[in-house]
Structures are given as C-alpha cells and as structure tokens.
Structure 1
Amino acid sequence: MRNTAAVAKPVPIISQQLVQQPQRLDLNKAAALTRQKELTGIGKAKAEAIVAYREAHGPFTSEDELLEIKGIGNALLECNRDKVTVE
C-alpha cells in the first residue's frame, strides 16, 4: 500500500531588504541647482544664497547655520532637516 500523506514542500524564505534612506544633500558640496530641485521651499535665489554663504564663511559645520541666511527660518529648516547633512 502506498503512503498518500501529503509531503510538505519547503517554503522559500524571502529576505527582507532594508529600506534605504534617501541620500541627504551635503550642504558643503551640493550645487545651487541641486539644492533648488531637492529641497522644499528653496528656489533659485535661496539656493544661490546658500552657496554664497558657504563661499563667504567657509564650510557649514551644522545644518542650523542655514538660519543665518536671509529668507531661511525655523519652519523652512525643519521642513528640510531630514534632507540635508554636513560632512
């Protein structure tokens, strides 16, 4: 007599891929056009002002230095904080 019990097939394990966080924009390297495209509320004038500030004062040491730029306040900084970095 033949054994008719069902044989369980192995279930493949699918590895869970880590969700990559989006690249953050380095304030000390990104060009004005890149800032304009990637940051919320940053148009051409503010993007150019960020680059001008960096050229006049040297590399950014903190994201909070953006507050020194005319037209960038706390709300705009907080809106973009997770999109920028200083390396």
Structure 2
Amino acid sequence: MTMKRVIQTLLLTLALGVVASPAFADDTPAIDVNTATAEQLAQLPGIGEVKAQAIVADRKANGDYQTVQDLARVDGIGDATIEGLEGKVSF
C-alpha cells in the first residue's frame, strides 16, 4: 500500500468517526410546544424570547397546536422558522 493510499484511508476513517460520533449527534429531546414555558420555547432555533412569549399567548388564546405548521398562526413565524423547527418540537 502506498503512503498516499494509507493517508487517504486514515482520513476517511477519521471523517467517518466524526460523523458517527455520539458527541455530534443531536440527542436533544423535542420540546412539547403545548406545555413548554416561554423560557423553554426561547431555546428553539429561530424563536427567541419575544416569539416564545407570543407562542404561549397564542396557545392560551387559541388552544393547543397540532402540527408544526400551526405555529405559523403566530406573527413572525414563517416557513423558514417552521422548517427549522421540524423534529425539534412535539405536540
């Protein structure tokens, strides 16, 4: 085996190890938007404090959410935010 081939094999092995490493996996449990506090919701990508408070207020006024798309009823939450929330929220 040539030195170039050995280096390529080592690099590939390292790259696969990093991808498969549990340290890089997103094991964060989904946040239930129907029971979460504003502080918990604010941790979601694209939400922040103001939108989190708006989610809680909307939930109280209009009832629970059934799908991630239902969050669009909150001002400031659009398609891009909803796309980023998929898999990170539950109902």
- Would you call these one fold, judging by a TM-score over 0.5? yes
Match of 2:80 among 71, 75, 78: 75
Please give the secondary structure, in 1, of the residue aligned with 2:82.
helix
Does the Cα contact within 8 Å between 2:68 and 2:85 map onto a contact in 1?
Answer: no
The answer for unaligned runs of 5 or more in structure 1 is 1-18
For the aligned residue pairs, the C-alpha RMSD in angstroms reads 1.6
Residues 71-80 or 60-69, more deviating: 60-69
Highest RCO, 1 vs 2 (Cα 8 Å, sep ≥ 6): 1
Name which one, 1 or 2, has greater alpha-carbon Rg.
1
Cα 1:20–1:77, aligned 2, differ >3 Å: closer, same or farther? closer
Letter aligned with residue 40 of structure 2: T
TM-score normalized by structure 1? Answer: 0.70
TM-score normalized by structure 2? Answer: 0.68
Q: Percent identity?
A: 37
Structure 2 CA distance, aligned partners of 1:20 and 1:68? Answer: 27
Structure 2 CA distance, aligned partners of 1:70 and 1:81? Answer: 18
Map 1:30-69 to 2 at 5 A.
30-37=36-43, 39-69=44-74
Deviation at 1:54, TM superposition (A): 0.3
Deviation at 1:55, TM superposition (A): 0.1
Q: Match of 2:32?
A: 26
Equivalenced residues, count = 67
